[in-house]
Amino acid sequence: METIKLTIDNKEVEVEKGTTILNAAKKLGIDIPTLCYLHLDDLNIENKPGGCRICVAEIQGRRNLAPTCSTKCEDGMVVKTHTTRVLNARRTVMEFILSDHPKECLVCAKSGNCELQDMAHRLGIREIPGAEYAAVSTYKFDTSPSIKRNLDKCIMCRRCEMMCNEVQTVGALSAVNRGFMAAVAPAFEQNLEHSTCTYCGQCVAVCPTGALTEVDNTPDVLRALADPSKTVVVQTAPAVRAALGEAFGLEPGTLVTGKMVAALKALGFDYVFDTDFAADLTIMEEGTELLDRITRHLKGDKTARLPILTSCCPGWVNFFEEYFPDLKDVPSTAKSPQQMFGAIAKTYFADKIKIDRKDMVVVSIMPCLAKKYECQREEFSVDGNRDVDFSLSTRELAAFIKQANIDLHSLEDMDFDAPLGESTGAGVIFGTTGGVIEAACRTAYEIYTGKKLDRLDFTELRGFEGVRAATIDFDGLKLNIGIAHGLGNARKLLNDVRSGNSQFHAIEVMACPGGCIGGGGQPLHLGNSEILKARAAAIYNEDRKKPLRKSHENPFIIKLYEEFLEKPNSEKAHHLLHTRYFDKKKKIIVKQ
């Protein structure tokens, strides 16, 4: 490794050749302010377009200030990061950015959590010279089922473009036009709804301003809670409990399951249930389907296609419908836990408490923005009445709790309600990458072999590498399992499936890096993988503490099949818990 020495702010530092000044300064504990820069440490991806010019510094012997995020260190370089010239330049740059930015901080959804606002504060901006003369660009406002775009607030950091193209390979967003009219937009500046967007929300998760935000469904939920004729049922996804605390100042990885339940009860929900219950149900359906397909495949049945792909992630479903419609019979037909929950709540549970499905409102709390779109899909409603009415993100729930003057810290832990609140550890680990397939293995193994598993932790399926492979021995049957998180990684595995080179029997895919714990609806982690690892650890911790850790041992699941669904993959289960997929790829039509 070749190293070089340089001086930053009178301190000498030795770094590997190729290191940027910004990273060399970090090594010295010097925190140069950055705005457009973003480092996704676990993916080893840096967004450093050098566009915003906030991170500039003075290099001895150079006439111009250099952006430190994209300037490489040279041997003997002398860098100064806070000279008068540098500070003035930063302030001027910031004033220019702000002159073309709406002054709406008081009512902006991002206020208090906005990197632009923080930077203005850090740089001590107290006025925006010429703001009254400056023309402010105006763009068309765009809203979709999941994501809102307000490009007036865009500062062209292009982080969203990097997430959409490099990490997710979705390619819905690109920088378009030039100069004052420059923006990040879908092709032909159409709305997101008409692009290849999967609503994974990773663009929202990295946006430093209020340009990209989630659609806020809190008012809809508030209205339902205020309506005495409605029974409002809420379900919470596994990844929410591992991240909600962060919005209340708790350390990443603090589990707040009991407090979250208490807060939801305090908010006035009639029944607080757990999506983990539906996750257990998913395992019953998907695991059975997996075993059925593998057994048929081994017997030479050509219609049983392998690998089977998981289907709980709505961003992933949108992705393969758009990019791999030729493979749409490969994923499991099992609905996602969110939708299974809705289907059971509005049939089985509505019957139990003797109300009409129209008088029940099902709300989901999700780490995800694609879930908002998923619950609006036509196939998930009965006569126009959705199985899941509204989906709120973890961030929206945090804001909702704060609005209602509920002090999360002082709440006594409470338990989920029965019967749809009972879950096993297998349901919990759905929240992190590798968790769904691990949960499926726990159940499928015991059903297939008829033997008890002696170890429940399939550590070979855990971890954070983008693509992982492991072989699980089902008593002689060697199952090859693939795992991908992040749509770019999923694409690699899907290309192999398409070309017939895939060695896997089953593949788990999660659209977001890290799985649901890194979802587009979670408190922002801005690429810091330590936060994701802490959330994952919290989830495995909750799994370990559960008395039951295999989905098929959940007594309420057993009861549900006895009383209502008969058996996994029964006709009734198929009707309520399975779905189909659509070809959404654009077609080239030949004009006659």
In the complex with another protein, the residue whose CB is nearer, 126 or 178, is: 178
Q: Is 251 a catalytic residue?
A: no
Q: Is 146 a catalytic residue?
A: no
Beta strands in 205-334 (DSSP E): 212-214, 231-236, 271-274, 308-309
Element (H, E) at 321: helix 314-323
- The active-site residue, picked from 161, 214, 285, 374, is 374
Binding site for another protein (CB under 8 A): 165, 170-178, 185-190, 194-196, 322, 584, 586-591
- The active-site residue, picked from 371, 423, 438, 441, is 371
Report phi then psi at 468, rounded to 5.
-130, 155
CB-based contact 404:267 (threshold 8 Å): yes
In the complex with another protein, the residue whose CB is nearer, 106 or 589, is: 589
575: tokens are 């009707």
Quick check: helix, strand or coil at residue 366?
strand
Provide DSSP, 326-344: GGTTSB--BPPHHHHHHHH
* CA 534 from centre of chain: 16
Angle at 457 between CA 455 and CA 460, to 5 degrees: 115
- The active-site residue, picked from 115, 289, 322, 438, is 289
Q: Is 286 a catalytic residue?
A: yes
- The active-site residue, picked from 55, 108, 312, 375, is 312
Least distance CB 205 / another protein (angstroms): 19
In the complex with another protein, the residue whose CB is nearer, 177 or 471, is: 177
In the complex with another protein, the residue whose CB is nearer, 179 or 476, is: 179
Number of C-beta neighbours around residue 191 at 10 A: 15
Angle at 522 between CA 517 and CA 523, to 5 degrees: 120
Q: Is 289 a catalytic residue?
A: yes
421: tokens are 């609140």
In the complex with another protein, the residue whose CB is nearer, 134 or 175, is: 175
Report phi then psi at 95, rounded to 5.
-65, -40
Q: Is 312 a catalytic residue?
A: yes
Q: How far apart are the first and last CA of the chain?
A: 63
In the complex with another protein, the residue whose CB is nearer, 170 or 239, is: 170
Least distance CB 238 / another protein (angstroms): 31
Least distance CB 386 / another protein (angstroms): 21
Pairing of strands 174-176, 360-366: unpaired
- The active-site residue, picked from 516, 542, 550, 551, is 516
CB-based contact 529:411 (threshold 8 Å): no
Least distance CB 250 / another protein (angstroms): 39
Least distance CB 425 / another protein (angstroms): 39
Least distance CB 174 / another protein (angstroms): 4
Least distance CB 188 / another protein (angstroms): 5
In the complex with another protein, the residue whose CB is nearer, 33 or 315, is: 315
Provide DSSP, 121-164: HHTT----TTTTTS-------EE-SSEEE-GGG-----HHHHII
CB-based contact 372:145 (threshold 8 Å): yes
In the complex with another protein, the residue whose CB is nearer, 213 or 318, is: 318
Nearest 10 degrees: CA dihedral of 119, 368, 320, 383? -130
202: tokens are 């990773």
- The active-site residue, picked from 16, 379, 530, 571, is 379
Quick check: helix, strand or coil at residue 578?
strand
Least distance CB 368 / another protein (angstroms): 21
Return the DSSP state at 20: B
Report phi then psi at 481, rounded to 5.
-110, 135
Q: Is 371 a catalytic residue?
A: yes
Element (H, E) at 479: strand 477-485
The catalytic residue positions are 286, 289, 312, 332, 371, 374, 379, 516
